[in-house]
Amino acid sequence: MNMNYLEPQGRGAVRDWIFSTDHKRIGLLYLAVMTAMFWVAVLLGVLMRIEQLTMGPTIMTPATYNAMFTVHGVVMIFMFVVPGLPAVFGNFLLPIMIGAKDVSFPRINLLSWYFFIIGGALAVASLFLGAGAPDTGWTFYVPFSLRTGTNVSLAVFAAFLLGFSSILTGINFITTVHRMRAPGMSWHRMPLFVWALYSTAWIQVIATPVIGITLLLVILERSFGIGVFDPAKGGDPVLYQHLFWIYSHPAVYVMIVPAMGAISEIIPTFARRTIFGYKAIAYSSIAIAALGSLVWAHHMFTSGMGELANTVFSLLTFLVAVPSAIKVFNWTATLYKGSTKLEPPMLYALTFILLFSIGGLTGVMQGALALNVHLHDTYFIVGHFHYVMFGGTGFAFFAALLYWFPKMFGRTYDRRWAFAAWPPLFIGFNILYGSMLLLGLQGMPRRYFDHLPQYHVLHVAATAGSWIMVTGLAMLFTTLLRGLLKGSKAPADPWGGLTLEWTVSSPPPLENFEAIPTVDRAPYAYNPGRTS
């Protein structure tokens, strides 16, 4: 009998994991670190909300508040949302879904994880070492980031290393998809999650080096005063914003496109129906990757750019909504006349569609130049961003975890508790971030330590929402942890999925397949007679 990948491999418990080049183990290494970092960032977020519970100082100083939102952002963005679905589920599932035994470069895959944990450790260390925690926000905007005496260089270097991790993962995924597909796994028989990972990998490879060089320039400028961004030396601070957002806007799609891929797996499985518009969804991932790379300057409408640039980037921003809307339309159309079954993954996936739609539409609003001037740097942006990143990527991450948990760990979780965690999570989320949208419309600026009396009621509501939401989060993670430790054995295909990962045992064998499979049908061939 073929041993599964979780069984000891004879090098000792720790070495079996930290020196493993098995893509599945590496996926779980990412999951463990990311979960820990997620809770660190959640804690910082909750503390920030408690600070806003009263007017004036509540539990921290203004400088501490600045450090809190900076590290909350850096950790959440670079250590949870960006690597989120690609690093965990991409690593674990991509080779299995295309019928391969591993990724193309298993050792580089492990190296990528080492870059990730070293970068993460430095990001956390930047809180405690040197002249104080960084206080620039996660964007490290110049000229403030050049002048502040806090520990910006270390935090920037941490982000640089995390970027390297992302590039290596991207190269690995592109090569794997091109070179390691099983016989019969043509491009149009690939699961849509693989299409999403492939599109994302291109963004990672092309856009991430830009931020890498930019962050190095910030370090050089802080250390040697080279003057690229410093206006006092003839540099251009707006150039920094261009370079930062050339990566960081596509990075939003690194965060959301794999989430969309996971949703495209879950919906047809629980609708028991071939996905509506397979090719449209697949190519819309590519379109998002391409168009999403050309809209970065919509973050800079109030930064003093030329009018021509403002107009062009506004137009492009409206265009990028089209491929996203194609996906939403196709998911909804897939449900039509399906035999829909509401299991926990499906519930969280449907929640993704709603919350992502709110996040997406509030984003399109900001593409309008006139409105953008009013909303820029207000809580509206914070609310919009969290609807996309948490309501979108976060809920998709939970949906993916609930969907593939039995496959990854070979155990089931208590579905009643997974359902029970949803109401506080959903209600708390909307109170928290819905309040932020309203606060922003009323003019409350982001990143302020304190607030005026007219904003107080909504701030209190947002803080209460954060407590409700964290209760739901704790229930969900406890449910999964209990499933991991005490859950009953999971069958190979608990949900009736048709993609290749459901054809192998749970947890999967060490090398995934005893023999490389031959693929002779489309990935979601629930309808009789459909073979291509």
Partner 1 sequence: MTMDTSHPPAEPASYQTITTVWAALLVLTGLLVAASGVSPFWAVAAMLTLTPLKAGLVLYYFMHLKYEGPLIKGMVAIALTTLVIFIGMMFLDLAFR
Which residues of the chain form contacts with partner 1 (CB under 8 A)? 174, 178-186, 202, 205-206, 210, 238-239, 242, 246, 293-294, 297, 304-309, 312
Query: Least distance from C-beta 87 to partner 1, angstroms?
Result: 22
For residue 166, count other CB atoms closer than 10 A to its CB: 31
Q: DSSP alpha helices (H): ranges in 86-180?
A: 91-97, 106-128, 144-147, 152-179
| Cβ nearer to partner 1, comparing 170 with 428 | 170
Cβ 308 to partner 1 shortest distance, Å: 4
Q: Which is nearer to partner 1, 180 or 400 (CB)?
A: 180
Closer to partner 1 by CB, 308 or 485: give it: 308
The minimum distance between CB 187 and partner 1, in angstroms, equals: 9
Side-chain half-sphere CA neighbours of 384 within 13 A:
20
Residues 285, 323: Cα–Cα separation, whole Å: 7
Q: Is the dihedral of CA 128, 131, 135, 136 positive or negative?
A: negative
Helices (H), 19-137: 23-51, 62-76, 84-85, 91-97, 106-128
Q: Between 174 and 287, whose beta carbon lies closer to partner 1?
A: 174
**Least distance from partner 1 to the Cβ atom of residue 288, Å:** 15
**Secondary structure (3-state) at 489:** strand
- Mapped onto helix, strand or coil, the DSSP state of residue 415 is helix
CB of 199 to partner 1, least distance (A): 12
Phi, psi of 489 (to 5 degrees): -65, 135
Q: Please give the DSSP secondary-structure letter assigned to residue 151.
A: S
Beta bridge partners of 378: 445
Identify which of residues 111 and 238 has a Cβ nearer to partner 1 in the complex. 238
Return d(Cα 428, Cα 362) in angstroms, integer. 19
At a CB cut-off of 8 Å and minimum separation 6, what does 283 contact? Answer: none
Cα 210 from Cα 248, distance rounded (Å):
10
Structure tokens at 2: 């073929």
Q: Report the residue number, 23 or 273, with the smaller CB distance to partner 1.
A: 23
Complex with partner 1: residue 269 or 372, whichever CB lies closer: 372
Alpha carbon distance 267, 502 (integer Å): 15
Question: With contact defined as beta carbons under 8 Å apart, do 87 and 172 qualify?
Answer: no
141 or 477: CB nearest partner 1: 141
**Amino acid, res. 493:** D
User: Least Å distance between CB 179 and partner 1?
Assistant: 5
Q: Alpha-carbon distance 395 to 398, whole Å?
A: 5
CB of 396 to partner 1, least distance (A): 27
What are residue 4's DSSP bridge partners?
509
Could you tell me the smallest distance in angstroms from the CB atom of residue 183 to partner 1? 6
Task: State the nearest-atom distance from the C-beta of 202 to partner 1, in Å.
Answer: 8
Closer residue to partner 1 in complex, CB, 157/202: 202
Q: How far apart are CA 520 and CA 408, in angstroms?
A: 25
Q: Which residue has the tokens 């794997």?
A: 176
206 or 510, CB closer to partner 1?
Answer: 206
- Least separation in angstroms between CB 302 and partner 1: 13
